[in-house]
Amino acid sequence: MKISNETKVGVLAAIAITLLILGFNFLKGKNLLERKNTIYAVFPRVDALSPSDPIKINGLQVGLVSDLEEKDENLSGVIVALNITKKINIPDNSYAMILSNPLGTSTLSIVLGTSTKFLEEGDTLSSRASGGIMEDLKGTLTPTVDKVNGTLKSLDS
Across 102-125, average pLDDT: 87
Residue 16 has pLDDT above 90, yes or no: yes
The mean pLDDT of the chain is 85
Give the pLDDT confidence score for residue 29 in this predicted structure.
67
Longest Cα–Cα distance of the chain, Å, equals 105
Across 58-73, average pLDDT: 89
pTM above 0.85, yes or no: no
